A and B are shown apart, each in its own frame.
Chain A
């Protein structure tokens, strides 16, 4: 029999991880919260096996990712429509960020404000680029796995991820690029 107090401790320990996985894939706080709730309801059913297990975090991440992808597939038509409407870039907006340029390959250590801005930028990427980028960098999936999961071609995944990185790079480059240095 599952101990509710023990489950609450488990829930508090993992809720940030589950929520951030969901919100970085969905870019929608309300939907991410719904998915996180569903994940923990499923975790409750498996709690006797998960409690104290070293793989609990991995299990939660996998379930979160699958539920998010199912959610995105279910609303695929809407997702495609909006990602097309959103366009490739958001050039009208300026980001007051001062990062090391990626072409210098210097280590880029972010301040708290910059991290916040990167999160905001991720949320503004077109859905197809954001999902592919998040699966690659946060979920450590390779291109082929992402293509299979999303049901798209390998080439499309590579292009989407490349464009997403390029968008991030452009947004995060310091002002010196604009003066041609």
Chain B
């Protein structure tokens, strides 16, 4: 057991000695120009078109403060009304918003469309339905295939 341990240790020491002698692998000649080109591309973009974490520090702080103020104001306006809120008044309040009304109308249209599709499907016989589904699958897979080919072409030409 002790001998095995010594053998493992000597193997580890040997491997360490061999591996530590390896010099750094030279970076490809293309690396430095690639990095500099990527940096040049980044420099062209204004700060507000870049990710938040690379914005100038003072603008990051201002943006964080502005977000906090907006959220704080929202809470400040909503909280006093919370006492008088019940389910009915909340529904009425929500229904006053144009967006909610539009969403509700869209949902109704989708519901009607769904019912119509179910009726059509029920009226088709089995073979016709299978044909329609097969055609749909074919169109779908062609779209995916074309999309993939375009993506490969576009990314290959970088």
- CA–CA, A119 and B21, complex, Å: 11
Stretch in B32-40, B59-67, B68-76, B126-134 touching the partner: B32-40
* Size bracket, chain A contacts: 35 or more
Instruction: Write out the residue numbers on chain A whose beta carbons fall within 8 Å of the beta carbon of B16.
Output: 137
Q: Is the CB of B10 within 8 A of A108?
A: no
Interface residues of A in 102-122 (CB under 8 A from B): 102-103, 105, 107-110, 115, 118-119, 122
Q: Is the CB of A16 within 8 A of B18?
A: no
Partner of B19, one of A40, A109, A138: A138
Q: In whole Å, how far is A48's beta carbon from the nearest beta carbon of chain B?
A: 11
Instruction: Write out the residue numbers on chain A whose beta carbons fall within 8 Å of the beta carbon of B22.
Output: 110, 115, 118-119
Q: In whole Å, how far is A74's beta carbon from the nearest beta carbon of chain B?
A: 18
Interface residues of A in 8-53 (CB under 8 A from B): 8, 11-12, 15-20, 23-24, 29, 33, 36-37, 40-41, 44-45
Q: Is the CB of B25 within 8 A of A20?
A: yes
Q: Is the CB of A19 within 8 A of B15?
A: no
- B10 nearest CB neighbor, chain A only: A105
Partner of B12, one of A12, A33, A122, A165: A165
- We find that the number of chain B residues with CB closer than 8 angstroms to chain A is 31
What DSSP secondary structure best describes chain B's contact surface? helix
Q: In whole Å, how far is A143's beta carbon from the nearest beta carbon of chain B?
A: 11
B23 at the interface (CB under 8 A from A): yes
B14 at the interface (CB under 8 A from A): yes
What DSSP secondary structure best describes chain A's contact surface? helix
Interface residues of B in 1-58 (CB under 8 A from A): 7-8, 10-28, 30-32, 34-36, 38-39, 42, 54
Instruction: Write out the residue numbers on chain A whose beta carbons fall within 8 Å of the beta carbon of B28.
Output: 19, 29, 33
Q: In whole Å, how far is B154's beta carbon from the nearest beta carbon of chain A?
A: 18
Centre residue among A138, A164, A165 by max chain B CB count within 10 A: A165
Q: Is the CB of B14 within 8 A of A169?
A: yes
Partner of A19, one of B18, B26, B38: B26
- CA–CA, A32 and B10, complex, Å: 32
* CB-based closest 4 A-B pairs: A19-B27, A102-B14, A20-B25, A15-B27
